[in-house]
């Protein structure tokens, strides 16, 4: 049976990093809903145009559009053995739809790792990012600072902070995520599939715990 992993975690917890490591280690496809939206919109697919029509109006993309994108993606050959789902589902209703969809593909959600950390740590991680104006090189004021404050090591251009990376924006985004995701966390906890992992540990230790859970 195909194995599908739903990876949960708020902004700044390192979920994207872990998803890539897991995909390389397990050889399962990494299916990111954010990447899917960008891919469909860029390629101007029918679903991409439909999604963009809602995004342009500042509205949430309806579940049926998102689910159709996911269905198209996991129907590809690289998902025959399963996939790591990153960014989907976001609600219990989407989780129900996913379960129904996966039965068609002979699969099911095996485990739902939920990488957690205190809000203050998440804000520090996510709001410390600075970007180089010239070529977009990324720095972090705590974890990978430039040699000279405000200047890119690579090309000497000015470093700036995107609106998305500012403390106020990051704090709001994290709180919205936590509020919206709690029903989904409870959904998978009741189903006996949720596995909470301390995201404040070293990247290698988080990976080790994730792989240990998958092996079980």
- Active-site residues: which are they? 15, 90, 129, 162, 173
Q: Are strands 29-32 and 82-86 parallel, antiparallel or unpaired?
A: parallel
Helix (H, G, I), strand (E, B) or coil at 115: strand
Neighbours of 194 (CB within 10 A): 18
Alpha helical stretches, state H, the chain: 15-26, 33-42, 46-55, 63-74, 92-104, 119-127, 167-190, 203-215
User: Which residues, listed in sequence order, are joined to residue 151 by a DSSP beta bridge?
Assistant: 148, 158
User: From edge to edge, which strands make up the β-sheet containing 159-160?
Assistant: 138-140, 129-132, 159-160
Q: How far is CA 64 from CA 59, 86, 94, 138, in A?
A: 14, 18, 9, 35
Residue 21 CA from chain centroid, whole number:
13
Instruction: Decide if 12 contacts 174 (C-beta within 8 A).
Output: yes
Instruction: Decide if 18 contacts 117 (C-beta within 8 A).
Output: no
């Amino acid at each position: 049976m195909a194995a599908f992993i739903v990876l949960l975690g708020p902004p700044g917890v390192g979920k994207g990093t872990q998803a890539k490591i897991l995909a390389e280690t397990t050889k399962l496809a990494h299916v990111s809903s954010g990447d899917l939206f960008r891919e469909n919109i860029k390629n101007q697919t029918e679903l991409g145009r439909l999604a963009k029509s809602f995004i342009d109006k500042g509205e949430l993309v309806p579940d049926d559009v998102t689910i159709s994108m996911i269905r198209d993606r996991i129907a590809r050959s690289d998902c025959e053995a399963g996939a790591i789902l990153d960014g989907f589902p976001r609600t219990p209703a989407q989780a129900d739809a996913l379960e129904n969809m996966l039965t068609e593909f002979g699969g099911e959600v095996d485990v739902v790792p939920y990488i957690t950390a205190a809000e203050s740590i998440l804000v520090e991680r996510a709001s410390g990012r600075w970007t180089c104006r010239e070529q977009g090189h990324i720095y972090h004021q705590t974890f990978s600072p430039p040699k000279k404050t405000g200047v890119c090591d690579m090309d000497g251009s000015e470093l700036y902070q995107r609106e998305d990376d500012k403390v106020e924006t990051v704090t709001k985004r994290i709180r919205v995520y936590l509020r919206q995701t709690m029903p989904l966390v409870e959904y998978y906890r009741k189903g006996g599939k949720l596995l909470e992992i301390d995201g404040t540990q070293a990247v290698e230790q988080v990976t080790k715990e994730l792989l240990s859970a998958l092996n079980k």
